Amino acid sequence: MNHFKTFLLGIATAFGIYYITKKRDDGSSLLDDILENPSDVANKAKDIVIDQAVESIKCKLT
């Protein structure tokens, strides 16, 4: 079972690396965006997490 979990983790890692390094039509990748402006990417991620947390709390309260 541990070999199967390791296999799945390896596949997920490979697809994750492929996704962030995949070039878009303009020739840049998600990794390029992160490396060029890391603070902007971090702020966007924080905003998304905060929005999801607020929605989750709203759902639990109703």
CA distance 52 to 45: 11
- What integer pLDDT is reported at residue 21 of this predicted model? 94
Provide the number of structural domains found in the chain.
1
- CA distances 31 to 46, 52, 55, Å, are 18, 24, 29
So what's the pLDDT on residue 12? 97
Domain coverage including residue 23: 2-61
The per-residue pLDDT for 28 is 92
pLDDT the model gives residue 1: 81
pLDDT in tens, the chain (62 residues): 889 999 999 999 999 999 999 999 999 999 998 999 999 989 999 999 999 999 999 999 88
